[in-house]
Amino acid sequence: MSDNAIRQITADDLRTMNNQEGLILQGCGGPLREWLNGVNGLLTESGILLDGSTFHTENVTVFQHDDRTCLLFPFEDVKLDVGKLAMWRLQTHGQFGGTWLSDYVPNRLGGFIQAEQRPPRKPKMELMGHDGNIFSIMGRASFLLQMAGMNAENKEMVDRITSCKDYDKALNIISEYVDTELSTPSIEPKKSHKKKGKSAYER
């Protein structure tokens, strides 16, 4: 592994990543290989990277902004405990300047570039495995919506759930925004045909 294996991008490239999420660390001076190995080690020891998952050089990227060297660690190909990562980011912010990609681009780069695109597909999520904790379920759904670039839908979902006092209703609200076991499958409308005698199957 070498520093050259970490792909260099521009800060403007981040503005096209509106359907992605990741962790940005700022002020990464020195050998990038040591940063990558160090972050993998810290997050593994903290129980954030799960099941032997690690960030790899082919996925991590480096860019320059405000005279700082920054590393982007995308979430697509790793298994994470998102709650623990959020706490770790806050606790180490003074040291690493950690921030989410979805926060960095609007606050530092003027926002994402909205290219012509089809409506985003709802992410899938299983309701099982959250011990019936509505806040855990909502947090997971919120994270998936953010990763899918559905920030407006995420805010709307959270607002509706926090004003809802019924557990079952809250689950149904979540299932409107992400595909769960409770989501209603989309059914294509049947085409109407004028009947002109019996078809071959009716004779």
| Contact in structure between 59 and 5 (CB atoms under 8 Å) | no
Task: Render pLDDT for 107-123 as a digit per residue (tens, 0 to 9).
Answer: 999 998 875 555 567 88
Query: How many angstroms separate the CA atoms of 44 and 51, rounded?
Result: 9
Question: Looking at the predicted structure, is the pLDDT value of residue 80 above 80?
Answer: yes
Which residue has better confidence, 203 or 137? 137
- Segment among 20-29, 38-47, 119-128 with least mean pLDDT: 119-128
CATH number of 3-108: 3.30.70
Only one residue has tokens 């991590």, namely 60
Q: Where are the domains of the chain?
A: 3-108, 120-182
Q: What is the pLDDT of residue 120?
A: 64
Q: What is the pLDDT of residue 118?
A: 53
Which residue has better confidence, 195 or 21? 21
Q: What is the pLDDT of residue 203?
A: 39
Task: Render pLDDT for 127-154 as a digit per residue (tens, 0 to 9).
Answer: 876 667 888 899 999 999 988 888 889 9
Question: Looking at the predicted structure, is the pLDDT value of residue 77 above 80?
Answer: yes
Question: Looking at the predicted structure, is the pLDDT value of residue 189 above 80?
Answer: no
In Å, how far from its chain's centre is CA 149? 7
Share of the chain above pLDDT 90, in %: 63
Q: What is the pLDDT of residue 26?
A: 97
Question: Looking at the predicted structure, is the pLDDT value of residue 196 above 50?
Answer: no
The DSSP-derived string for the chain is --GGGSEE--HHHHTT-TT--EEEE----S-HHHHHHHHHHHHHHTT-B-TT----TTT-EEEEETTEEEEEEESTTS-B-HHHHHHHHHHTHHHH--EEHHHHHHHHSS-----S-PPPPPPB--STTSTT-HHHHHHHHHHHHHHTT-HHHHHHHHHHHHT---HHHHHHHHHHHSB-TTSPPP-PPPPP----S--TTT-
Is the pTM higher than 0.75? The answer reads no
Identify the CA nearest to 172 among candidates 161, 159, 186. Answer: 161
Only one residue has tokens 């011990």, namely 131
- Segment among 31-45, 97-111, 116-130, 147-161 with least mean pLDDT: 116-130
How much is the mean pLDDT over the chain? Answer: 85
